Structure 1
Amino acid sequence: ARAGEAHGRCLLALRCPTAADRLRGVVDVYRELGARWDVARCQRLLRRHDIVSTHRRGRLGYGDQLSPREREVARLVVQGRSNRDIAESLVLSVRTVEHHVARVMRKLNVGSRTDIAL
């Protein structure tokens, strides 16, 4: 991995277009080895050369589209169910249902629960 990193540094110095791919491969090797400091060092090197390598963590985002859970909550809201009823049927906390309803309303650009059906 260290030899690959050195090779990547040389390629960066030569402005070789394959340098970024080489260093990303080295980052993957360091990750597999659990070498966090080495991963960080290589990522700093890439950033210094304006090479952005993003690794999305967490769940998939749905952007302005409703997630499957939000669609489910919206369906229950349209049926006229209260947040407490929705929470009990989906085995969620009332607060979580409130968050889902708020996101549904924001994504659908509506001002009230009754407008969700529209």
Structure 2
Amino acid sequence: RWRRLGRPFDAARAAEARGRCLLDLRDATAADAVREVIEVYRELGARWDVARCRRLLRRHDIVSTHRRGRLGYGDQLSPREREVARLVVQGRSNRDIAESLVLSVRTVEHHVARVLRKLNVTARTDIARAGLAADGETGTARR
């Protein structure tokens, strides 16, 4: 009904409420219903609502297979993340990278954290071993 009225956000809220009820009833279709709501929120750019629905699934012990990453790049490194990763592989510090790229140190820290997460490694020294070529052409870990 909300969708017909041109109110997609309200429609998503109603669908989320329905999904919550289905989860409480342990209905077999509940997880898919909430995942559909997550996609609608994502399309609407409602990041807080996406996060809330993901937390809801986790509270009900439903594991999401979606790996987090920037919406436009998914599991792939963004061009800036590849650039930061290349400099990390060269052994440069966050402060040095920040000065080179005219970024704040905090922004570089965020980029490094995303690179580590996307390559599924825990240490800066593991970035090169994860398969990131020194020239930065690859964007994900080789398996």
Counting helix residues as a fraction of each chain, which structure ranks higher?
1
Over the matched positions of the two proteins, sequence identity in percent amounts to: 69
The residue correspondences of 1:41-60 to structure 2 (distance < 5 A) are: 43-44=9-10, 48=14, 53-54=40-41, 55-56=44-45, 60=71
State which structure, 1 or 2, has the greater radius of gyration over its C-alpha atoms. Answer: 1
Task: Give the Cα–Cα distance (whole angstroms) in 1 for the partners of residues 99 and 116 of structure 2.
Answer: 21
Q: Please give the secondary structure, in 2, of the residue aligned with 1:66.
A: coil
Task: Give the Cα–Cα distance (whole angstroms) in 2 for the partners of residues 117 and 61 of structure 1.
Answer: 24
TM superposition shift of 1:45: 5.6
Root-mean-square deviation over aligned CA pairs:
3.1
TM-score of the two chains, using structure 1 as the length reference: 0.55
Q: Larger deviation: 56-65 or 71-80? A: 56-65
Amino acid at match of 2:105: V
TM-score of the two chains, using structure 2 as the length reference: 0.46
1:79–1:45 CA distance, 2 compared to 1 (3 A): closer
Task: Give the Cα–Cα distance (whole angstroms) in 1 for the partners of residues 120 and 12 of structure 2.
Answer: 40
Is 1:102 aligned with 2:113?
yes
Task: Give the Cα–Cα distance (whole angstroms) in 2 for the partners of residues 105 and 72 of structure 1.
Answer: 13
Task: Give the Cα–Cα distance (whole angstroms) in 2 for the partners of residues 46 and 97 of structure 1.
Answer: 35
